[in-house]
Amino acid sequence: MVDNIVRIKHDRVENTVSTDYPGFHNDNEDYSWDLTKFKSKFDIKISYISERVANFDLINIDTSVSNAFRRIMLSEVPSVAAEQVYIFNNTSVIQDEVLAHRIGLIPLKVDPDLLNWIDNSVDEKDKFTDGNTVVLTLDVSCSKNPNASKNSTDPNELYKNSNIYAKDLKFEPQGNQLEKFKSPVVAADPNILIAKLRPGQEISLRVHCILGIGADHAKFSPVSTASYRLLPTIEITEKIKGEDAKYFQKLFSTGVIGINEQSEAFVKDSRRDTVSREVLRHERFNGKVKLGRKRDHFIFNVESSGAMPPEEIFFKSVRILRNKAEYLRNCPIGR
């Protein structure tokens, strides 16, 4: 039987190396990878899914595969972001290049599957088309508010368009984009501040937004973060009762350890544990508890930047990994 628990000691971590994949075997048992066996054991458990965040478990899967999903979500799932910013007039205090950079980092709510990839072999003047580019415009100028209170010191009341937000970027449909897109392209977070203006200042620009991946630039990454951790394991090897149980409970995160009616400590929810190893510093609990992490149980947390739902980002990462595997399978040996 393969020991899949990473053992946590007070000064070291043991059993970190896995030889389960791919195709390890010895004289006694065969651990070679088998698709049917994998399907029978693999499981996904969803804790919660919201508009921006998904938390789920991948169970009985190797680290290499889980980490591939994480890396693909970060750097290979395509999304749409500003690529070219054409500034016609900018009399604000923000330099043109800083203004363009701020606009480029604004997540856009648009389905990347509706756009084609830019063909870099095409001449520059023909490169951007209605099939591969979304156009946004920003035309704002600041002026005094004649109806403002005389004693007011609030710029939002004294001036019109004193603050320029992401919601001020307007979608300018090209070709048949009005029919293709179910809704106008807007910023995922409309209240991102782009610039501050004062009377007499104005900004006029045009933005070309295209498909890209996070490996090329962070602005194309569809996730704010995509991370995983191994499921913590806590094994109480000797009974801990009374005052010791109460003290034992305080050494873990809230909700990890419970105390039953017999005043005995028990593991209530190891998932909440942060594996701080604080309990291993106390002699009174020496030999009474074993800490570890389950090596093939991954708790994923995917936070979308708003471009698309977090579950869609994960599904796309699975599709990309499958395509990579198919490509390798069909490659002639030696090429």
Q: So what's the pLDDT on residue 21?
A: 54
Q: Are 90 and 192 in a shared domain?
A: yes
Of 15-19, 155-159, 191-195, 307-311, the range with the lowest mean pLDDT is: 15-19
CB neighbourhood size of 10 (10 A)? 12
183 lies in a domain? yes
Residue 54 backbone phi and psi in degrees, to 5: -130, 135
- How many structural domains does the chain have? 2
pLDDT at 60 over 80: yes
Q: What are phi and psi of 271, to 5 degrees?
A: -60, -30
For residue 170, give the 3-state DSSP assignment: strand
Mean pLDDT of the chain: 90
Residues 84 and 26 in one domain: no
The mean pLDDT of 62-67, rounded to a whole number, is 90
Tell me the pLDDT tens digit for each residue of 67-82: 999 999 999 999 999 9
Q: DSSP secondary-structure letter at 9?
A: -
Which helix (H) or strand (E) is 153 found in, with range?
none
Pair 95, 66 in one domain: no
Query: Are both 103 and 130 inside the same structural domain?
Result: yes
Dihedral through CA 59, CA 63, CA 69, CA 72, nearest 10? Answer: 170
Note whether residue 54 is domain-resident.
yes
E strands in 16-69: 43-49, 53-59
State the residue range of the domain holding 151.
80-219
By mean pLDDT, which of 21-25, 32-36, 80-84, 132-136 is the weakest?
21-25
**Same domain (yes/no): 111, 143:** yes
Q: Is the pLDDT of residue 17 over 50?
A: yes
CA 219 to chain centre: 13
- Helix or strand holding residue 82 (H, E): strand 79-90
For residue 69, being part of any structural domain is answered with: yes
Give the closest residue to 136 by CA, choosing from 95, 190, 93, 92: 190
**Amino acid code (one letter) for 299:** I
Q: Which pLDDT score, from 0 to 100, does residue 204 have?
A: 96
- 92-123 pLDDT per residue, tens: 999 999 999 999 999 999 999 999 999 888 88
What is the identity of the amino acid at 258? G
Give me the CATH number covering residue 192: 2.170.120.12
Scanning the chain, the segments in alpha helix (DSSP H) are 35-41, 63-75, 96-104, 124-127, 155-158, 177-180, 242-250, 310-330
Q: How far is CA 325 from CA 37, 221, 331, in A?
A: 19, 22, 10
Residue 186 lies in a domain: yes
Q: What are the phi and psi torsion angles at 99 (to 5°)?
A: -60, -45
Residue 327 counted as domain residue: no
Share of the chain above pLDDT 70, in %: 94
What pLDDT does residue 126 have?
83
Same domain, 100 and 31: no
Percent of the chain with pLDDT over 90: 70
Rounded to an integer, the average pLDDT of 287-293 is 93
Check whether residue 57 and residue 31 sit in a common domain. yes
Same domain, 199 and 119: yes
**pLDDT on residue 15:** 82
Helix (H, G, I), strand (E, B) or coil at 7: strand
User: Which residues does residue 297 pair with via DSSP β-bridges, in sequence order?
Assistant: 59
For residue 162, give both structure tokens: 């004193």
Pair of tokens at residue 191: 């209240």
Is the same domain home to 95 and 215?
yes
Assess whether 123 and 149 both reside in one domain: yes
What is the reported pLDDT for 332? 75
Q: Cβ distance 109 to 222 under 8 Å?
A: no
**pTM (two decimals):** 0.85
- What CATH number does the domain containing 62 carry? 3.30.1360.10
Same-domain check for residues 215 and 229: no
| pLDDT per position as a tens digit, 183-219 | 889 999 999 999 999 999 999 999 999 999 999 999 9
In a domain, residue 323? The reply is no
43 lies in a domain?
A: yes
Of 117-121, 147-151, 291-295, 329-333, least confident by mean pLDDT is: 329-333
Asked whether residue 90 falls in the same domain as residue 55, the answer is: no
Query: What's the confidence (pLDDT) of residue 1?
Result: 44
Task: Give the pLDDT score at 3.
Answer: 76
